[in-house]
C-alpha cells in the first residue's frame, strides 16, 4: 500500500486506494485462498458415500455367496476374487493388457474428439447442414457399437483399425452434439454484443463461443468417453488379434477356461478404470463451471 500514498493530491490518493481495493476484491473472488478444513470436509463428503456403497455391495455379494444359491465355481465369494485380483496385479501380463487397451482408448477417443469437434462446430453455425445431418448424427449416437463390427471387420479385417473405427463412430456423435448444445446455450445478446465490438470468425470462436460452450462441451466429452469405453470393450471381445494382450483378451481367456474369479477380477479392473476417468471428467467439469461462475463452490 505504501506506493499508493506517495501522491500529494488527496483526491488522487483516494482514487488509487479505491482501485487497489476493488482489484484486490476481484482477485480474491476469482482466486480464493485455499481453506484446508473446507477442503478436507469436501474430500470426506465425496469419499464416504462411495465407500459406503462399496461396503453394501460387498456385503450383499457375500450374503448371496453364503446362501449357496450358486456353486462357488459359478459365483465365487469376494475373498476368492480379491485373492485372484491381487495375484493378477502382480503379473506383468495384466499391466501389458491394460496398457494396450488404454492406448487404443486414447487414440480412438482423440480421433473422436477431433472429428466430433469439427463436425459439431460446422453444424452449429450452418442451419442448412444442421437440418440435413443433425438427425443422422443423433441416429448414429443411438446405434449399438456391436452393430458396427461386422462392417468394420469386413472393411478393415481383424486389426486394431477395426476397433478404432468403432470407437470413433461410437464417440464422435456425442462430441458433435455436445458442441452443438454448447453453442445453442450462448445468449444471443452476448453474440450480438461481440459482433458489435468487431469480433468475427476465429476471434468470435476464440473469445466468446468456445468459453461460453465449454461446460456443455465437457459434459458431452464425458458422455463420449462412456461410449468410447464401451465400444472398446466390445471391440476387444469381438476382434481378437493374435499375439496382442488386452483386457478383452483376458476376459476371453477367462471365459474359455471357465475361470469365474479371473473374469470378475478383470471386470473390476474395467470398472475401476471407468470410475477414475469419469472422476477426471467430473473434476474438469466442476472446475470449468466454477471458473465461469456457473456453480457455487460451497454448494457442489
Q: For the chain, which domains are there?
A: 70-299 (1.10.3720.10)
End-to-end CA distance of the chain: 36
pLDDT of residue 26: 42
pLDDT tens string for the chain (300 positions)?
444 444 444 444 444 444 444 444 444 444 554 445 666 666 666 677 778 888 889 899 889 888 888 888 888 989 999 999 999 999 899 999 999 999 999 999 999 999 998 898 888 878 888 888 888 888 888 888 889 999 999 999 989 999 999 999 999 999 999 888 888 877 778 777 877 887 777 777 777 777 777 778 888 888 899 999 999 999 999 888 877 889 999 999 999 999 999 999 999 999 999 888 888 888 887 887 777 666 655 555
pLDDT of residue 214: 79
Largest CA distance in the chain: 91
Residue 250 sits at the vertex; the CA angle it makes with 95 and 167, to the nearest 5 degrees, is: 85
pLDDT of residue 24: 43
Measure CA 278 to chain center.
5
**CB neighbours (10 Å) of residue 129?**
13
pTM of the predicted model as reported, rounded to 2 decimal places? 0.74
Query: Which stretch of DSSP H or E encloses residue 208?
Result: none
DSSP 135: H
pLDDT of residue 14: 45
Q: How far is CA 81 from CA 17, 56, 84, 185, 240, in A?
A: 67, 17, 5, 47, 25
pLDDT of residue 115: 94
Q: How many CA atoms lie within 13 A of 75 on its CB side?
A: 12
pLDDT of residue 28: 45
Cell of residue 141, nine digits = 449416437
Q: How far is CA 36 from CA 41, 46, 109, in A?
A: 8, 15, 36
Amino acid at each position: 500500500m505504501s506506493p499508493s500514498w506517495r501522491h500529494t493530491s488527496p483526491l488522487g490518493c483516494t482514487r488509487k486506494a479505491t482501485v487497489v481495493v476493488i482489484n484486490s476484491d476481484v482477485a480474491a473472488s476469482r482466486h480464493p485462498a485455499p481453506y484446508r478444513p473446507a477442503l478436507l470436509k469436501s474430500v470426506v463428503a465425496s469419499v464416504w458415500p462411495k465407500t459406503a456403497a462399496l461396503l453394501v455391495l460387498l456385503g450383499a455379494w457375500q450374503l448371496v455367496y453364503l446362501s449357496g444359491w450358486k456353486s462357488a465355481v459359478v459365483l465365487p465369494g469376494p475373498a476368492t476374487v480379491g485373492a485372484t485380483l491381487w495375484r493378477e496385479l502382480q503379473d506383468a501380463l495384466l499391466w501389458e493388457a491394460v496398457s494396450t487397451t488404454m492406448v487404443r482408448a486414447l487414440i480412438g477417443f482423440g480421433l473422436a474428439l477431433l472429428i466430433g469437434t469439427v463436425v459439431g462446430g460446422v453444424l452449429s453455425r450452418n442451419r442448412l447442414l444442421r437440418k440435413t445431418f443433425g438427425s443422422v448424427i443423433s441416429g448414429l449416437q443411438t446405434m449399438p457399437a456391436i452393430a458396427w463390427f461386422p462392417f468394420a471387420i469386413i472393411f478393415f479385417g481383424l486389426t486394431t483399425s477395426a476397433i478404432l473405427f468403432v470407437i470413433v463412430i461410437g464417440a464422435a456423435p456425442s462430441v458433435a452434439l455436445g458442441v452443438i448444445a454448447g453453442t445453442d446455450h450462448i445468449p444471443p445478446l452476448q453474440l450480438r454484443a461481440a459482433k458489435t465490438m468487431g469480433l468475427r470468425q476465429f476471434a468470435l470462436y476464440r473469445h466468446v463461443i468456445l468459453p461460453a460452450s465449454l461446460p456443455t462441451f465437457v459434459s458431452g466429452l464425458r458422455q463420449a468417453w462412456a461410449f468410447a469405453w464401451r465400444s472398446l470393450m466390445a471391440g476387444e471381445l469381438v476382434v481378437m488379434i493374435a499375439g496382442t494382450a488386452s483386457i478383452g483378451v483376458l476376459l476371453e481367456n477367462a471365459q474359455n477356461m471357465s475361470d469365474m474369479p479371473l473374469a470378475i477380477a478383470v471386470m473390476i479392473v474395467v470398472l475401476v478404470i471407468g470410475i477414475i476417468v469419469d472422476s477426471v471428467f467430473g473434476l474438469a467439469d466442476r472446475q470449468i463451471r466454477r471458473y465461469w461462475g456457473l456453480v457455487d463452490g460451497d454448494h457442489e
